[in-house]
Amino acid sequence: MQHDPRFTQQYFKLSPDKSARGPWNQGEIPGMGKDLDYIENPLQHVKDTKGLSELPEPMEKELEETEQLNQHLSKEKSQEVKKAEQEGIIQWSDYAKTKEQ
């Protein structure tokens, strides 16, 4: 499954007050084309967003794109698994034989 864009773009400051900002917590997220959302006060942010359930910016488009990609990847992975499975009955244990003996 793909990342949830409501949460993967956020960087919560959990360091001491004198911590520095750097390339790990600012700017564009590699491969996503989106900027990190730096949350200076995580506790207040969680309260304001009612446990991250009400985010300030609607993300319907990103969520729809993520769901479409998840459906596509699900079909793709299912096909891979089906190709790898042997045809017929596959026995993974011999418990029945052990009980009968």
Predicted local confidence at residue 48, as pLDDT: 92
* The overall pTM is greater than 0.85: no
Predicted local confidence at residue 72, as pLDDT: 93
Predicted local confidence at residue 91, as pLDDT: 66
**pLDDT truncated to tens, each residue of the chain (101 aa)?**
677 877 788 888 888 877 778 888 888 887 777 888 889 899 999 999 898 888 777 778 888 888 999 999 999 999 998 888 777 677 676 776 655 55
Asked if residues 41 and 10 have their Cβ atoms less than 8 Å apart, the reply is: no
- Name the residue among 55, 73, 62, 74 with its Cα closest to residue 32: 62
Predicted local confidence at residue 98, as pLDDT: 57
